[in-house]
Structure 1
Amino acid sequence: MQIFKALNSISVLSFDLDDTLYDNKPVIAAAEAAMLQSLAKYAPITANYDSEFWWQQRRMLAKTTPEIRHDMGRWRLLGIEAGLIHLGLTQCEAGEIAELAYAAFWQARTTISIAPDVTQLLTELARQYQLIAITNGNACIKKMGLGDVFAFSLQAGPDGRMKPYPDLFLTAAKRLNVKPEAILHIGDSHRADVLGALSAGCQAAWLDHYQTPVTVLPHIRLQQLQQLQRFISS
């Protein structure tokens, strides 16, 4: 752990989810596979199109509707629909199949196993602090077994613009009736989590997996999540 700035009094610990509490890469890979399987089942014409094709559909959608990026779930759903229309399906057919394919994606995307030591750490931290989750994605804290640990979860899209915009942090502070500086946000993304937290007036702990050099420093830098044990004994 490296401390770059003195920490103010903390009453809330805010956690990013993807790649902070678990490795998100295999989760997304499984979700993409489930989506492709569903598409091939309900629209056989898609069988020869891989994830890159569907990513390009989302990219084109974002060019015409930039704000869609703030809601990952809706962006993916509408990207699937746009791709199906591009392949010749009617809008009605595309909409129905997109819903089925996205449901398959979301089911796999929210099937996440949290390591026992992480669950234990969060449980111990929750005895001293209010814990919340702030995520740009759409993982579900209840489905991953953390519904009783976190007070609530805020997601980009339904709850505001994605990090690094300050919306979600400010919404959390207002909901908890605390000043933003009473929140320490922990996340793996320097841009989304560190810059986002700082822009909202929160404190920031960066879980730096790759020891990346930066110019804007967080309050603390963590090499591993378990270093938060320090807050339990302090």
Structure 2
Amino acid sequence: MQIYKQLQPIQTLSFDLDDTLYNNKPVIAAAEHAMLQALGQQLPSKIKTDNAFWLQQRQLLAIANPEIRHDLGRWRLLSLEAGLLRLKFNQTDAKNIADIAYSAFLQQRTNISVDIKIKQLLAELAKYYKLIAITNGNACIDKMDIGHWFEFSLQAGPDGRMKPYSDLFLNAAKQLKLAPAQILHIGDSHRADVIGALNAGCQTAWLDHHNSSISILPHIRLTDVHMLKGLIANN
């Protein structure tokens, strides 16, 4: 653990989820595969689509409606519907097929196994701090069997604009009835997690997976999330 700024008293630890508590890449890959399988079962055999096609639909929708980016789930669902309309399906069929494909995606997207050592870490930290989750994605802490250690989880879209906007951090502070500076946010994204948390007035711990160079420093830098045990030693 590298300390760049003196930590002020901490009441709550706020965790990013994707690529902080687990590797998210295989999760998304499995979810997109499930989505394509569901689409393949619904579309006529002559219609073939792939991830590149659906990514293009998401990009087109974001150009037309930039604010949709703040709700990743709704963005994906509406881009599925928009793509099906471009494939000449009528509105009703496009909506129904999009719902089926997105449900398949979401089922796999929330099928996340958290390593037992991470669960042990959360259980130990929860003895000393309140824990919350703040995520730009749509992973579910209850389905991951870690929700019982958390006060709540906030998601971009339903609970505010995505990080690095301050919405989710300030929402959390309001719910906790704390000053933002009493929250230490832990995450792997320098832009979303470090800059976002600092802009909101929170303290921040950056989980640096790639030994990256940065100009804006977090309060502390971690190369392994288990380094957070050091907070307990100083509690």
Task: Please state which band the TM-score falls in when normalised by the shorter chain.
Answer: over 0.9
Q: Deviations over 1:41-91 (max 9, x none)?
A: 012358521111101100000001000000000000000001111111011
Partner of 1:33: 33
Partner of 2:200: 200
Partner of 1:56: 56
Partner of 2:82: 82
Q: Identity over aligned residues, as a percent? A: 62
Partner of 2:117: 117
Partner of 1:103: 103
Q: Take 2:122 and 2:233, find their aligned partners in 1: how far apart are those partners?
A: 14
Q: Deviations over 1:147-203 (max 9, x none)?
A: 101110000000000000000000000000000000000000000000000000000
Q: What amino acid does structure 2 have at the position aligned with 1:215?
A: S
* Number of residues of Structure 1 aligned to a counterpart in Structure 2: 234
Q: Take 1:232 and 1:117, find their aligned partners in 2: how far apart are those partners?
A: 16
TM-score by length of 1: 0.99
Q: What amino acid does structure 1 have at the position aligned with 2:61?
A: L
- C-alpha contact (below 8 Å) 1:45/1:87 kept by paired residues: no
- C-alpha contact (below 8 Å) 1:2/1:222 kept by paired residues: yes
Which runs of structure 1 show a deviation greater than 2 angstroms over 4 or more consecutive aligned residues?
44-48
Q: Equivalent residues in 2 for 1:1-234 (5 A)?
A: 1-44=1-44, 48-234=48-234
Q: What amino acid does structure 2 have at the position aligned with 1:195?
A: I
Q: Take 2:146 and 2:116, find their aligned partners in 1: how far apart are those partners?
A: 11
Structure 2 vs 1, CA of residues 70 and 46 (structure 1 numbering), >3 Å: closer, same or farther?
farther
- C-alpha contact (below 8 Å) 1:58/1:79 kept by paired residues: yes
